[in-house]
Chains A and B, each alone.
Chain A
Amino acid sequence: MSLWLHELRLFLRQPVALPTLLLMLLLSGASVWAGLSEVARQRETIARIQPQQAEDEAALAAWVPERGDAGDAAYYSFHPTWDAPSTLAFAALGQRDIAPYILRIRALALEGQIHESENYNAELALPGRFDWAFVLAYLAPLFLILLLHDIFSGEREAGRHQFLTVMARSSRRMWARRVLLRGGLLSAMLLLPFAVGALLSGSGLPALAVAGVAALYLIVWTLICVGVARAGRRSLANAASLAALWLFLTLVAPGLALLAINGAIPVRQGVELTLAQREAVHAGWDKPKAATMDAFFRYHPEWRNTPPVEGGFHWKWYHAFQHLGDRSVADQAAAYRDGLKARDLWTRRIGYVLPAVGAQVAIHRLAQTDLEAQQAYEDRIRAYYDRLRRFYYPYIFDDRPFTAEDFQRAPRWQEAPPA
Chain B
Amino acid sequence: MSLVLLIARNEGRLMRRNRVAQLAVLMLLLLSVVATLTSVAHRDASDALRARFQAQADSAFDGQPARHPHRMVHYGHFVFRPLPALAAFDPGVDPFTGSTIFLEGHRQNSANFGDVRQSSLLARFGSLTPAFVLQVLAPLVLIFVGFGAVAREREQGTLRVLKAHGTTTGALVAGKLLALGTIAALMLLPALLSLAWLVAVEGAALAAAFALGFGYAGYLLLWTVGIVAVSSAVRSARTALMALLSLWAFAIVLVPRVAPDVALAMVPSPTRLETDIAVHRDLRRIGDSHDPDDPHFNAFKADVLRRYGVDTVELLPVNYRGLLAMEGERLTSGLFDAYARAQFKGEREQGNIVAAFGLLSPTIALRSLSMALAGTDLEAHRSFLQQAEAYRYAIVQQLNQLQAEAVTYADDGSRNSDPEAGRRVRIDPRHWHDIPDFAYRGPSLHERLMAAGLSAAVLLVWALLVGLALRAAMRRLGRAF
Contact surface of A with B, Cβ cutoff 8 Å: 16, 27, 30, 34, 37-38, 41, 45, 48-49, 52-53, 55-56, 59, 63, 78, 80, 94-95, 98-100, 102-104, 112, 115-130, 134, 138-139, 142, 146, 150, 235-237, 239-241, 243-244, 247-248, 250-252, 254-259, 261-263, 267-268, 270-272, 274-275, 278-279, 282, 285-286, 311-313, 339-340, 343-344, 346-347, 350, 356-357, 360-361, 364, 370-371
Contact = CB atoms under 8 A, between A and B. Distances in A.
A251 B271 contact: no
B164 interface: no
B362 to A, nearest CB: 15
B299 interface: no
**Residue of A121, A248, A254, A285 ringed by the most chain B CB atoms within 10 A:** A121
- Interface size class on chain B is 35 or more
A128 B125 contact: yes
B25 to A, nearest CB: 11
Nearest to B350: A121
A129 B261 contact: yes
Nearest to A266: B45
Contacts of A138: 253
B199 interface: no
Given A16-B242, A139-B253, A239-B238, A261 B120 contact: yes
A284 to B, nearest CB: 11
A123 B38 CA distance: 23
A117 B111 contact: yes
Given A128-B125, A247-B137, A254-B125, A52 B263 contact: no
A49 B144 contact: no
A243 B271 contact: no
Contact of B65 (A59, A142, A244, A286): A286
Contact of A278 (B75, B121, B271, B276): B75
5 contacts: A49-B277, A117-B114, A121-B350, A130-B260, A272-B53
B351 A275 contact: no
A78 B106 CA distance: 15
Interface stretch (B90-98, B173-181, B461-469): B90-98
A156 B411 CA distance: 97
Contact of A123 (B53, B241, B354): B354
B416 interface: yes
Interface string B66-90: 0100010011101000000000000
Top 3 A-B residue pairs of the complex, sorted by shortest distance between their CB atoms: A312-B416, A124-B260, A255-B128
**Residue of A27, A255, A286 ringed by the most chain B CB atoms within 10 A:** A255
**Residue of B124, B259, B290 ringed by the most chain A CB atoms within 10 A:** B124
B410 interface: no
Contacts of B102: 112, 274, 278
B20 A128 contact: no
Interface stretch (B185-193, B225-233, B280-288): B280-288
Interface in B102-116: 102, 109-116
Contacts of B347: 121, 123
B203 to A, nearest CB: 25
A122 B93 contact: yes
Contacts of B75: 278, 282
Interface of B: 20-21, 23-24, 27, 31, 34, 38, 49, 53, 56-57, 60, 64-65, 67, 71, 74-76, 78, 92-93, 96-98, 100, 102, 109-128, 132, 136-137, 140, 144, 148, 237-238, 241-242, 245, 249, 253-254, 256-261, 263-265, 268-278, 280-281, 284, 288, 290-291, 343, 346-347, 350-351, 354, 367, 377-378, 381, 415-417, 419, 422
Nearest to A282: B75
Given A94-B121, A119-B343, A236-B241, A63 B291 contact: yes
Contact of A364 (B121, B125, B238, B258): B121
Given A122-B97, A130-B261, A116 B125 contact: no
A43 to B, nearest CB: 13
Contacts of A364: 121
A122 B238 CA distance: 39
Nearest to A137: B125
Nearest to A78: B276
A48 B350 CA distance: 22
Contacts of B269: 119-121
Given A123-B354, A150-B238, A236-B241, 20 more contacts: A37-B265, A41-B268, A45-B271, A56-B277, A117-B112, A121-B263, A121-B264, A123-B377, A124-B350, A127-B259, A127-B260, A130-B258, A252-B27, A255-B122, A255-B132, A258-B128, A282-B75, A350-B122, A357-B122, A370-B121
A53 B23 contact: no
A261 B96 CA distance: 18
Contacts of B117: 95, 98-99, 117
A243 B350 contact: no
A341 to B, nearest CB: 10
A312 B274 contact: no
Contacts of A282: 64, 71, 74-75
Contacts of A356: 125
Contacts of B281: 55-56, 59
B96 A125 contact: yes
Contacts of A53: 273, 277
A270 B127 contact: no
Contacts of B254: 27, 130, 139
Contact of B31 (A59, A235, A252, A313): A252
A163 to B, nearest CB: 22
A239 to B, nearest CB: 6
A370 to B, nearest CB: 7
Contacts of B377: 123
Contacts of A261: 119-120, 122
B137 A257 contact: no
**Residue of B97, B137, B351 ringed by the most chain A CB atoms within 10 A:** B97
Contact of A361 (B92, B121, B249, B256): B121
Nearest to B123: A258
A236 B237 contact: yes
Contact of A139 (B123, B249, B280): B249
Contacts of A49: 271, 273-274, 277
Given A243-B144, A258-B127, A347-B120, A285 B67 contact: yes
A252 B137 contact: yes
B259 to A, nearest CB: 8
Given A112-B102, A116-B109, A259 B261 contact: no
